[in-house]
Structures are given as C-alpha cells and as structure tokens.
Amino acid sequence: MTLTVLLSLALFAFVSSITPGPNNVMLTASGATFGYRRTLPHMLGISAGVALMLLLVGAGLGTVFEAMPMLYTALKYAGAAYLLYLAWRIARAGGVDGAAARSKPFTFLEAAAFQWVNPKAWIMAVGIVATYTPQEGFFRNLIVATLVLSMVNFPSISVWTLFGSALRRLLRQPRSVQRFNIGMALLLVTSLYPIVLEYFAG
C-alpha cells in the first residue's frame, strides 16, 4: 500500500467516522446521559465492531450477499427496525440524575453487534475494501486498512461523546436531558431516510 493510498484511506476513514450517523447520534446521547467514562465501552465496541466487519467483508462476506441478495435485504430491514428500537430506548433514557436507575449505557458487545445492522458501517467497510485496499498483497493490505480505520475511528467518535458530556454539564434538569434525548432519538430515526427512499423507489 503506497503512502498516497494510505493517506487517502485515512481521510476516508476520518470523514466516514466523524460525520453524523447512527453511532455518533447514540454516542452524543449517551455522553449527555451517562458521561464519557460510562460510554467508553460503547465507543470501544463501535471501533472493534467496524474493524471486524471490515476484515470479514474483505475476507469474502460480500460475495455471500452477492449470491444471496435477499439475505442482505433482510439484514438491512432488520437493522432499520433495530434502529427504531434504539431511538425509543434513547428517548426514554430520562434525566442525568435518574438515568442510571431507568436505563444503562450500551455494552461493548451490544455496540459491536450493532455494526452489523448499521447501514453506515456497511458503506465504510465496502468502500474501504473496494476502493482503498490494493489487490496485490490483498490480505496484508486488508490488515493495514483495518488498523488505519481503528486508529482513526476511535478518536473521531470520541468527539461526539465529549460533546454530549459537555452538554451534560449544561443540562442539569432531568426534563432538559429528556428533551435532548428525544431530539437525538428523532435524529436517529431521520438517519433511516436512505432505506425509506430505496423502499419507495423500488
């Protein structure tokens, strides 16, 4: 992998990781509700889940979906349904003081598993394999690409958690945090618009 390709990959990983999406919306809400430290397993799970997805997609999982497109379609709509459940969960998280009693942050495994139904994570994985992983020495380059994604992804998503944590200090009233979480839940639902457009276009 040349330096030019490596830098392009790092830039793609940065833009894909730091722009709004389901993961970052959930991290902002979790940071505001639970703080940075309690959201750390959630962040680590996202980075690990995306890295594992990239490795498996590069190793040939993509060909399975080409051979069985209905499997990919089923996964996509299952992911949309799960995102709606997550939006409901975020909206009901409650205020800062009472959040721990009514809800809890995502665990490492929950966050890692979520990546398999996260449309944006699929776009990242497929994009990196198809565009930024040279065919010569493919598996070595795939390992390098996975390491680059992991190093770029975690600091990028941390920004969103820190943003939520900063808001946590401003949102002292439980009602204010509840309204904020409802807003985050609505943003999460809005992130489903590509799937909705594809459904009606089809």
Who contacts 93 (Cβ-Cβ below 8 Å, separation ≥6)? 29, 33, 99, 102, 103, 177, 178, 181
Report pLDDT digits (tens) over 137-153. Answer: 888 889 999 999 999 99
Predicted TM-score (pTM) of this structure: 0.74
Whether the per-residue pLDDT at 192 is higher than 60: the answer is: yes
* pLDDT band at residue 102 using 50, 70 and 90 as cut-offs: very low
- The pLDDT assigned to 97 comes to 43
Which residue shows structure tokens 């990242």? Answer: 124
Instruction: Give the pLDDT mean for 119-141.
Output: 82
Whether the per-residue pLDDT at 86 is higher than 80: the answer is: no
Who contacts 136 (Cβ-Cβ below 8 Å, separation ≥6)? none
Report pLDDT digits (tens) over 7-54. Answer: 888 988 898 898 878 899 889 888 888 889 999 999 999 999 999 999
- Compare 119 and 195 and report the one with higher pLDDT: 119
- The pLDDT assigned to 43 comes to 97
Q: Whole-angstrom Cα distance, residue 2 to residue 142?
A: 13
